[in-house]
Amino acid sequence: MEQLRIRGGGRISGELKASGAKNSALKLFAGALLANEPVTISNVPHLRDITTMIELLGSLGVEVVVDERMKVEIHANTINCFKAPYDLVKTMRASFNVLGPMLAHYGHGEVSLPGGCAIGSRPVDQHLKGLKALGAKIDMQHGYVSASVKGRLKGAHIVFDFNTVGGTEHLMMTATLAEGTTVLANCAQEPEIVDLAEFLNGLGAKISGAGTSTIVIEGVSELTGGQHTVISDRIECGTYLIAAAATGGYIKINGAQPSLNSALLQKLEEAGAELKLTDDSIELDMHGARPKAVSIITAPYPGFPTDLQAQIMAMNCIAEGSAMIQETIFENRFMHVPELKRMDADISLDGNQTTAVVKGVNRLVGAPVMATDLRASVSLVIAGLVADGETLVDRIYHIDRGYQQVEEKLKNLGVEISRHSY
């Protein structure tokens, strides 16, 4: 096991380069299964979830070549197995999305029901409903979902019952090789969906409307090879911006796209940050000031992202004033609250565990804390930055799923942080 040891009290100051978006790259890897020729994907982050997805593709017989700059070349036509095993799928929900591409391209596929962070129920019923509407036969046995079709899938009009990022991406990919036109309604609108659509269109797909509530896919008979560069990771960028704001510091993130983080940037300005934006950089300066507390309500894009809720809560713990944080996307996503309270944070939850009231204190106190999921884990790191003394963050394998070289980046920003095995 490994842990991070953080000595708090300093201010973040410096520059870093944004990593590629994990949530985009994982779906691009799945989408590559639709292609008849090699696909090259650049700006891929070096993360545990990425490694898991590469292992999953390898288990299917897909040839994957990775160079020293994390440029990934995928040869899907070497596939010789159509069953994604439980041992790999259980650790990461995104791996479930290989099912539709295998079904659309090869007529069948079998995937274990997914795992991932324990932050509430995230069923795959919308995925399966859509695959059935496209003509797939679905069977579920022993924890596996099996999908098959005779001939090609058929275009359909599919209305999602609720906003689902994974479902939107999954069915958009699958429909690219269906016969006829598919209309997806009530779609999620996240930037990663737009990135996936642009990737697929570059391979010969005909997708329009990505980034809106209605996506139209004109089915094609095949996809060819191509190249694509992953968009910047808006959650990673947001995390470091919040960390700088919490410490009263300064940061410039190069390669970041401000348009992907509009909801957060507005809140950081409310917190007292001075922002300077270009098309591919974000610069934040608190000029040494303590942040002001900001209230948020998480919402689907373009609202405030649930994946930044824990981080903004950590900032609010030492901010001037009080703030309310309402979580509307996932249940069980306040598991970081007890750990923050161990550091003397003043947080109270309502009876339904969906709304938190945070009263800012002058200083947190370093303590041993335990990560419970990916975003909660990095919120504890932010809390450690503004705590007196030493903070030990345990179970940091959660962090490694979504943050590339987190301690190295923070060291370059002036943070006293180290990784230890025990």
- Outline where 74-219 has alpha helix (H): 86-89, 99-106, 125-133, 165-175, 191-202
Q: What per-residue string of b and e applies to 372-404 under the rule 16 or more CB within 10 Å gives b? A: bbbbbbbbbbbbbbbbeeebbbbbbebbbbbbb
Are 114 and 89 in contact, with CB atoms under 8 Å apart?
yes
Other beta carbons within 10 Å of 362: 9
Helix (H), strand (E) counts: the chain: 14, 26
Strands 274-278 and 250-254: unpaired
Other beta carbons within 10 Å of 88: 19
CA distance 272 to 287: 9
Are 347 and 317 in contact, with CB atoms under 8 Å apart?
yes
Q: Which residues, at least 6 apart from 303, have a Cβ–Cβ distance to it below 8 Å?
A: 263, 297
List active site positions.
117
- Half-sphere exposure (CA, 13 Å, Cβ side) for 413? 29
Taking the alpha carbons at both ends of the chain, their separation in whole angstroms is 6
Nearest to 357 by CA among 349, 345, 367: 349
CA distance 217 to 35: 16
- Host H or E run for residue 137: strand 137-141
Instruction: Count Cβ atoms within 10 A of the Cβ of residue 106 and give its class: 0-12 exposed, 13-18 middle, 19 or more buried.
Output: middle
**Length of the chain in terms of residues written:** 422
Per the listing, tokens 């596996």 go with 144
Residue 177 per-residue DSSP state: T
